[in-house]
Structure 1
C-alpha cells in the first residue's frame, strides 16, 4: 500500500482528495496506521495538535506521538492484539496522554477503530485534545462517577466546604450561647439563672453535635475497605497522568515515565490508587508553577519481594522543613490556600493497602514522594 495521504484506503468515498478534504474539516485529529504501526494518514487536525506536517510523518511509527512507557511498548500492543484478538483499547474510548513535536505531554481522549481497505488491516485513531476543552469538567465528572466511593474523598473542595458548613453552625451556636451566658451572669436573678441554665444546656448540646459532625466526616473518609483486584501499574500511571494534565497544568513540563517493568501487576483498589497518583502528580505540577526548569519523573522499582515502590519527583522549590515533619497530618498543607486534606487522604489510602508513603528531597532539586503497594502473587498474576 502506498505511503501517502491519498492511499487506496480513501477510495470508498470517491477519491483520496475528496475524503481528505472532508476529514480535514474536523477540529480534532484523525490518524490511520497499518499493522506495523506506520502512519498512512495524518489529518490537518493532527498537524495542528502534534506540530508535524503530514508529509513529514507519513511512514513513521505512530509511537513517536506517545510519551513513555507507551512509546516503547506500542508495537507490542498491536502484536498482542493481532495474535490473540484481545481488544484492550480498540473500540473502547479512553483518556490517555500524547506527545507533541516540541516534547510537550498533553491529555487526550482516544478512540480506535479497525477496518480493512484493499485487503489490508488498518487502525484509525480519533483524538481529542482535552487540555483546554470546554468539556473538561464533564470528562472529570464522568471519570469521577467511575471512581465510585473514592470520589467522595478525592474532591478536596467539596470535602472542605462540607467541613466548613457543617461545623460552622454548631460552633456559631456555641459562641452565641456562651456570650449570652456571660451576659446573664452579670445579673444573676432567678429569671436569668433559668435562662443561664438553658444556655449552658444548649451549649453542651451543640458541642455534642459538633463532635458528631467530625465523627461523621471521619466515617465518610474511611467508609469502605475498597475492592482489591489485579491491576496493571503502567495503566494506572498512564490514566492518572492523563487525568492530572486535563486542566493544562502540565504545559512546559518535561514529563518522564520510567517504570521498572511494563507488566507489573499490583493487588489494589485501582480506583483509589489512581486517586493517590492524580493527587501527587497535581501537587508536583503546582509546586513547579514558578520554577524556571520544570521536570516531573514517575518511576518504579521493587521495594521488597512482595511490594513495589512508586516515586513522583519534581524540580520545584522543595518542602519547608517544618511542613515536612507533619506533612501527612490533616490540615497541614504545602500550599498557601490549601486545606491540607489531599496528602492525608493519600496516607489513608496507601496505609489501607498495607503500604507506606513518605517524602524527601528529589535529585531534580525539588520534592519526591514515595509510596509502596503490594505486588500480586505470581500465581494470581498468571491466572
Structure 2
C-alpha cells in the first residue's frame, strides 16, 4: 500500500508534493517537486523549508509563521511567491497541512505546491482585455450593443445609453428589439431566425439605414452595422449604431435649397426673357404708332364721312399702341430693377452651401476640387438665394467645360477686391473660351454649349449687377477659365 501511495505521489508531476518534519526540514520529495523547483531528492532532503522562500519573506519570518499557523489551524492555503534552485521566482498555490498521529501529536507537515504563474498571467491578460473592452465601450463615439444569437443584449455601451436613453442594467438580458419601433420588431426576429437556419444575411456584414426608437418613444434614423464572431460554438453579434438625424436633416435642407434655387433660376430666366422681349417688342410698337400717326396726317380733315371714320379708327389704334408700349416699358423696368431680399449673410457659409450643391457628381466625374475661403471677410449684404444661384451656375458650367479634358481641377476662392467689396472666383482647367466669345459671354442667348439656351450667364450678370457688383471671365494660363464676380461687404451699406 505504501509503495502504491509513493507511485501515486511521484506520478503527480504537475504538483510539488513533499513533507516536512515538525522542525520544518524536508523528509519526502516527489518528482513533481523536482520538476517544478529544480532540486533533486538527494539535494533537498534534510534542507530547511526556508530555502523555498524569497529572501524578503525569510527575513520577515514567514516560513516559521506559516508552519505555526498550519499547526494551529490544521491547514492553510495561499498564493505567494516561491524560489527555484536557480534563484528564479514563481507564483505558487500553496497548501500546508499539519500531520498528526492517533494521539494528536504533530508528526510534521505535508505541502502541495502548484505553479500558477502562467495561469495568473492568463487571468491578468483576460482582465486587461476586459478592462480594455470596457474602456472602448465607454469611449467609442458610436453606440455599441453586444448580443447573443437569440438577440439578448449582453453589453450596452455608454454611447448607447446616451443615444437611446436607457441605462445598461435596463437593457442587458432583454431582447434588442426593444430598441426598435413596434413594426420592425417581428421583422428583426424573423431575419435573425432565418439567418441562423439558412445563413442568409439580411443586415450582418453590411451597413444599413434603419429606424430606431428612444426610451421616450421618439423614432430616429440610424446607420447600423452588425459584426459576428463565434466563441466556444456560440455566435456573438456586435451592433455599431450611428445617429444620422443631423445628416438626414442636412440632406433634406439641401434638397429644399436645390428646389428653391431651381425655382429662382426659372423665374430669373423668365424675367430675362421678358426683359429681352420687352426691348424687342417695344421697337415695332413704336414703328406702328409712327405709321398710324403718319396715316392720320395724310387723311387730314377730309369731308368724306368714310375717311373720317377711318381716321378715327387709326387714332384709336395709335392710342392703344402707345398704351401697349407703356405696359411693355413698365414690365421691363420691373424686371431690370425689381426689389430683392437683401440680408446680412456670412460669406463663408453662403459659399460653402452653394459649393456643396454645385459639386454634386464632381467626385464621380474625377474632378479634383480645392477651396480657398479667405478668413476675416465677415458678412456680405446680398440676396442669399440669388448669389448662391450664381455660384452654382458657374460651378456647373466649369464642370461641363472639363468633361473632355484630362486634367480636371476646380478651385473656388474668395478674396478681398477693391475696398468694401469681396471677389468670388470659380477657376477651371477646361478648354477655355475664345476672346471674341468672352466679350459677349454675358449677353442673353449667347452660349458656348451646343444644347444651351444662353440665359444662365445673362441671369448671373443681372443678379450681380442688381447687387452693384460686376462679373467677368479671364483666360487661365495653360488652359481654362476663371469666372469672377464681386459682391459688397456689409460695411458698404453702413458707411
Normalised by the length of structure 2, the TM-score is: 0.42
Q: In 1, distance between residues paired with 2:267 and 2:431?
A: 26
Query: For residues 352 and 318 of structure 1, do their structure 2 counterparts lie closer, same or farther at Cα, with a shift above 3 Å needed?
Result: same
Number of the residue aligned with 1:251: 364
Structure 2: stretches of 5+ with no match in the other structure:
1-135, 146-156, 189-202, 212-221, 227-239, 287-304
Say if 2:471 is the partner of 1:353.
Answer: no
Shift of 1:254: 2.0
Q: Deviations over 1:79-125 (max 9, x none)?
A: xxxxxxxxxxxxxxxxxxxxxxxxxxxxxxx853xxxxxxxxxxxx4
Higher relative contact order (CA 8 A, sep 6+): 1
Q: How many residues align?
A: 273
Structure 1: stretches of 5+ with no match in the other structure:
29-40, 46-57, 63-109, 113-124, 146-150, 175-189
Number of the residue aligned with 1:141: 259
Number of the residue aligned with 2:379: 266
Number of the residue aligned with 2:331: 216
Say if 2:160 is the partner of 1:10.
Answer: yes
Shift of 1:233: 1.2
Shift of 1:255: 1.9
Q: Cα RMSD between the aligned structures?
A: 5.0
Q: In 1, distance between residues paired with 2:449 and 2:429?
A: 16
Shift of 1:238: 1.1
Normalised by the length of structure 1, the TM-score is: 0.53
Shift of 1:348: 3.0
Q: In 2, distance between residues paired with 1:210 and 1:236?
A: 40
Number of the residue aligned with 1:38: none
Q: In 2, distance between residues paired with 1:171 and 1:373?
A: 34
Q: In 1, distance between residues paired with 2:452 and 2:313?
A: 39
CA contact (8 A) 1:244 1:282 kept: yes
CA contact (8 A) 2:471 2:483 kept: yes
Q: Deviations over 1:228-256 (max 9, x none)?
A: 42x2111011111233245x466322222
CA contact (8 A) 1:154 1:275 kept: no
Aligned-partner SS, 2:415: strand
Query: For residues 306 and 192 of structure 1, do their structure 2 counterparts lie closer, same or farther at Cα, with a shift above 3 Å needed?
Result: same
Larger mean Cα displacement after TM superposition, 193-202 or 356-365: 193-202
Q: Deviations over 1:348-375 (max 9, x none)?
A: 3323333322110135721111122233
Q: In 2, distance between residues paired with 1:169 and 1:25?
A: 59
Shift of 1:299: 0.9
Shift of 1:270: 4.0
Shift of 1:318: 1.1
